[in-house]
Each structure stands twice: as C-alpha cells, then as structure tokens.
Structure 1
Amino acid sequence: MNFILNYHVKLVVSFVIILLINLNYCILANTYYVSNTSGNDQFDGLSSEYAFKTLNKINSIIYNPGDTILFKSGESWEGMLWIKGSGNLNNPIVIDSYGGEQKPIINGDGYQACILIYNDDNIYINNLELFNEASHLDSLGQTKKLNGFGGLSNLWGSGKDRRFGIKVVSDEHSLANFKFNGLHIHDVFPTPENTNNVHKGYGIKLETLSDTLVK
C-alpha cells in the first residue's frame, strides 16, 4: 500500500513539475513589436504603442521559447536580422507581422542575409517580404558585416559572393522545426568582382558545417 501511495505521489509531483515548467515558458514568453515609424529603442517593445524601432535592437535580445517578434505591416527595415535563441517543439519563436495585411519588408542591404539563424532552431517565420541586392560595401567602402558571426561558420564573410534571403547555419548540433509561411523573397543577388558569382543568390538555404542535421 505504501509503495502504491509513494508511486502515486511521485507521479503527481512529476506532473506538477512538468506543468510548472510549461507554465514557466508561458510566463517568460514575450511578444515584441517593431515599428520603424513610431517605434523607439528606448521603449520596452511589449506593446504596439511602445514598439522597438530598429533591427539592431531586435538583434541585441536573446529570445526564449514562445517569444514572438511582430513587425509593423507596410513598413521596412534595412540590414540583417539575426535571431538569437531557440524555441522548443511546443513553444517556437515566431516572427510575423501586425497591424495590416501588407507584408513588412526587410531589405538585406548587401549584408550576407536578410535573416540569419545560427545554431538555433524551433523558429517560425511568417508574412514578410525579403530582398537583398544592394552593394556589400558601405559608404566608406567597408564590407557590411555583423560582429560575432565569422570564421569557419561564415566562410564567405559577407554578401559579396553569396547572398541569402534566409540563411540557417549549424556547426555545433542538429537543428529542427523550422517553418516558413507566407514569405515573398525576391531579388537576392550578390555584388561580386568575379562575374561567375553574380547568380549565387539563394532565397532560403539550410547549411551544415559538421556532422549535424538541419530539418
């Protein structure tokens, strides 16, 4: 009888722990709003009235399972969105739009990709327009790059010879659970010196650099 009671108690405790973990993910999950016209990076980004403004701000956050990033419909941004953090199977990180039916635009502006996912997974991306055909050089003639993504994981280094709408890269472990829906990806071209590379533009590329799996 005591064995049955103890076993029952353990099952209840295990269920409560699992429930608390799931609730904790829900409690920690945030929805971030981004508006290039009315946003401000000094805001908390947690409502449409107090939206963030720039990709730099969005790139500075490490996201938790269940987090959502919403870009304002009809607005546009230049540069590379680097999503940091992984969701999980039941609580993916979601990037989407709000405030209308017109897709928000991310112009990669000559960076290697409009959207970069590096060693993270369980990410859904919906309802964006992406293009990337500008020069890989800035106004000072310097190559456009984001700090922290280089070396063997970024062999091409910039958007000079390769260009992407969305680039998913794994060099540490297997990745899974990506969903891309309602995207309009167009005009993705590098700006190389070697004309043999002029057509090496990719809408979406899943890439591994070790014995890993991306699916």
Structure 2
Amino acid sequence: MRLLSVAVMASLLPAALPATAASAQAGTTYYVDSKAGDDSAEGTSARTAWRTLHAVNVADLKPGDTVLIKRGSSFNGPLRLTADGTAARPISVKSYGKGKVARITGSEDDCVIISGDNWRVSNLRASHCRWAGFRLAGRGNQLSGVRAEHNVAGVQITGSRNTVRDSVISGNNRMSVNDAGGDNDSGAFGVLLNGDDNVITGNTISGSYAKSADYGTDGAAVEIYNGDRNLITHNISRDNETFTELGARKGRTATGNVFAFNVVTSSHNRASFLVTRGPHHVVGPVKGTIAVHNSVYLPGKDTLGWSCHDGCSPGILKLRNNVIAVGGQAGWEDGKGADEDGSVYRGRTKFKLGPKSVVADPKFVSRTDLRLQPGSPAIGRALPLTTTWFGGIAGRPKDLLGRELDGSPDAGAYQNGR
C-alpha cells in the first residue's frame, strides 16, 4: 500500500537419561501423507499417517511434538497451528520422504496460520492462498526454508519476535485492493510486517510487482505498516517494485526498523529501495529508520534510491555505508534532511551528502552481482559502526557472505575479500 537463541537444554541434562525420560523430552511425532494417509489412523508412524491437514488442526499437540509432512503431498488449506510450544521445546512442522516439498493452497483462507507461540515450520510451499501464504500471529515462531508464491502477501506477520529465514518468497503479485481513486490500492507484498521485533533474514524475495489503478504499479519485498524494531538483514531482492516502504496508522507507530546488508536489484524501469515519511504525511511520521551496508542497483529511468519526505529529519532516517546506483533519483529529502554518510551514490541527488559520501560509479561486478571490483570507490569508504546500528546484534557484524567487518570497512553489503 502506498500509504504507506534459546539455551541448549542438553548441556543442563545428566549424561545418561532413562529411555522414558528421553522419550518424554522428545515429544510425539505425527505423520501426514495426502496420498496414502488415513485420518482415522493413529498418525504416529509413516504407515499410520493422517491424510489431511484437518487432522493436524484438531490434534492436541504439546511442546516438543513434531509433525512430519510427506514430500510430494498436496493439500487444500488452511493449516492452523494454535497450540503453544516453549522456547526450550518448540513444536515443529517438517518434511519427510523424497520429492518436492508439500504444497498447500486455498482460496478461502490463508494457507498456513500460526496463532500459537514457539513453532518451527520448515519445508512447506504455500501458493494461491486467499491473502497470505503464511500468517504469523503468535510469538517466537520461525519459518525456514519455506516457499510462498502467488499470494497477496507471501508472509504476513502480526505477532512479535518471529523469524523468517533462508526462504524463497517469489511472485506474490496479487492486489487485494485495486480500484481507481482513493489512494488505497494494496497488495503484492513479499513480507508484510504489522508486528514488532521480528527478524527477516537470508531470504530471496522477488517479483512483488503488480499493476495498480492508483499508482500504475505497486508492491514491496518487505512492507512495514504499524511495526516497530524489526530487523531486515542479509536478504536478496530481485525485481520488486520497492524493497521497503514504511508507514503507520494515526495513533500507531513504525519506529526503529533496521535494514542491513541487503542486496537490491531490478530489471523494471520503475523501482525503489526505501520510502519513508515525516510527520506531514497521512501515514507518518515513521521514526528512527536505519539503513546500513545495503547494495542497490536499479538502472531503470523511473527509479529511486531512497526518499524521506513530508518532513524528513535525522530522527526519521539515518543512512550509513550504503552503495546505491540508480538510473533516476539516488536520494531525496526535504525538511531538515536525513542523517547520511559513508556511502557511494550514482544518479541524481537531492540531499546533502555526508562528509565521507561521494557520487561515483561504484564498479559493481555486474548488473546482478553487486560485489565490488578492484578500484571501487566503495572500498574502505565506510564508517566503523557500533552494533546499535545493526539492531543490537551479538558479535561483530558480517557481510552477505559471512565476512566480518574490519576497522576499515567497505560500503555496501559485501566486503572486498579482506
């Protein structure tokens, strides 16, 4: 919309546990097989697997339990995960067998709905769902290695302290509202964040791009609306309308969100990296946004690096150590302007460059490989930053390839092999 680690329990246990205690710790494992299962069976072995997701929805799952879904299965959703695990003993949904990951569809509801706490869900595919492929309404949940496609939102998070990692979120290119007038078209979200303290990391997000009666085209890889202190880091974004757009309804906030080590490219003529608002905008002010060590290449003519408008100020947006090359506007500010430094830009600039920022060709390896060639002005240009700039992560920050930043870091998402 334009308006827009858990303690290791094993170390605390005796070296040898009676088999009964070990089994109790492990929980119960249930199996689901859409082709050969039977909902009247016990479900506790591959030979007595359940057939439908309904059997999982009504099961009395406990902390430490596991649901295994056979690869190659196909289901009509939703999968409703309402029980609560604990941080030490989460409830897991995983895959077993060979073949493609199980697929869940469903035009009547979201496909996977996690309203409980402390779930670990992996290796599922959710596509052509009513609104969201995966909806996370609880706390402490984790999606990993999932796929979401052809939804209004690949993943929607209304809960807090959830994680989406190492997943492929592609072609979520449907609009939920798409009518002329009203400035209210909405949809084509890779990840829609309406909650606080969530982490989006290590994902590939692509194709969040759709026609819009109000805006021509619309969509976002990661949209934040009414969400605070979310960390969006180490993601690869391809061919999305916008990487991120931020806003909040009046009386709500979208404060302290951090974007770090993301790589953003697009072949579309129209695309942008980051759009945020000041107090004079209907969904502003969006306070305390930080963008650090991102690499962006958007060669189209109607492209935008970052925009901070309707009353921009350093309290609205801080940028450090980014490399942003676009065919259009590299950055735009009004009011007191953003707090910007240590970056390399290519494109038109309507903002005050920080003392160590420059306008120059960053010398990316290619249009899609945004590592730096020798001689790049981004090498050694970045300012050393404390971990508070990265959402307070533990340890030294690492680039997209896992290299630690040294005392003379490079701008952008990649360090140059030092």
With structure 1 as the length reference, what TM-score do the two structures score? Answer: 0.63
**CA–CA distance in 2 between the matches of 1:76 and 1:122?**
25
> Which letter does structure 1 place at the counterpart of 2:101?
K
Structure 1 pair 35/61, CA: closer, same or farther in 2 (3 Å)?
same
Q: Deviations over 1:65-96 (max 9, x none)?
A: 11111111011101111012111122111111
Match of 2:334 in 1: none
CA RMSD in angstroms, aligned pairs only: 3.4
Of the three residues 32, 35, 39, the one matched with 2:33 is 35
Could you tell me which of 158, 182, 188 is aligned with 2:151? 188
Partner residue, 1:59: 57
Gaps of 5+ in 2: 1-12, 153-173, 197-228, 232-418
Q: Is 2:118 the partner of 1:122?
A: yes
Sort the Cα spacing of 1:26 and 1:185 in 2 relative to 1 into closer, same or farther, 3 A.
same
Q: 1:98 aligns to what?
A: 96
2:143 aligned counterpart, secondary structure:
strand
Partner of 2:304: none
- The 5-angstrom pairing of residues 1-215 of structure 1 reads 23=21, 26=24, 29-107=27-105, 109-118=106-115, 120-133=116-129, 159=130, 163-170=131-138, 175-176=139-140, 178-189=141-152, 192=176, 194-195=178-179, 197=185, 199-203=187-191, 205=193, 207=195
Structure 1 residues without counterparts, runs of 5 or longer = 1-14, 134-158
Residue 168 of structure 1: CA displacement? 1.5
The structural deviation recorded for 1:194 is 4.8
Partners in 1 of 2:57 and 2:46 — Cα distance? 19
Aligned 8 A contact 1:74 1:102 in 2: yes
Counterpart contact for 2:176–2:187, Cα < 8 Å = no
- Shift, 1:129, TM fit: 1.2
Q: How far did 1:201 drift?
A: 4.8
Q: Secondary structure at the match of 2:54?
A: helix
| Contact 2:38–2:50 under 8 Å retained in 1 | yes
| Equivalent-residue separation in structure 2 for 1:27 and 1:169 (angstroms) | 26
The alpha-carbon deviation at position 123 of structure 1 amounts to 0.7
Match of 2:9 in 1: none
Higher strand content, 1 or 2? 2
Kindly provide the amino acid, as one letter, of the partner of residue 50 in structure 1. Answer: T
Retained in 2: the 8 A contact 1:62–1:84?
no
CA distance in structure 2 between the partners assigned to 1:205 and 1:59 by the alignment: 25
Deviations 1:139-195 (A, max 9, x none): xxxxxxxxxxxxxxxxxxxx4xxx11111125xxxx22x222111111113675754
Instruction: Name the CA distance, whole Å, in 1 between partners of 2:29 and 2:126.
Output: 22
Helix, strand or coil for the counterpart of 1:33? Answer: strand
Alignment size in residue pairs: 161
- What SS does structure 2 have at the residue aligned with 1:113? coil
Pick closer, same or farther for the CA change 1:29–1:95 going to 2, 3 Å: same
Per the TM alignment, residue 53 of structure 1 is displaced from its structure 2 partner at its CA by 0.6
- Which has the higher relative contact order, 1 or 2, with Cα contacts under 8 A spaced 6 or more apart? 1
Quote the Cα distance in structure 2 between the aligned partners of 1:129 and 1:168: 15
User: What is the CA–CA distance in structure 1 between the aligned matches of 2:98 and 2:27, rounded to whole Å?
Assistant: 23
Inter-CA distance 203–43: structure 2 relative to 1 (3 Å threshold): farther
- Once residues 103 and 188 of structure 1 are traced to their aligned partners in structure 2, the CA distance between those partners, rounded to angstroms, is 18
Give the Cα–Cα distance (whole angstroms) in 1 for the partners of residues 83 and 22 of structure 2.
Answer: 17
1:199 is displaced (CA, Å) by: 2.3
How far residue 99 of structure 1 moved from its aligned partner, in angstroms, is 0.6
Letter in 2 for 1:186: E
- Structure 1 residues 103 and 71, CA, compared in 2 at 3 Å: closer, same or farther? same
Counterparts of 1:87 and 1:127, CA distance in 2: 19
Distance 1:49 1:42, change over 3 A: same
> How far apart are the structure 2 equivalents of 1:113 and 1:99?
26
Q: CA–CA distance in 2 between the matches of 1:167 and 1:126?
A: 14
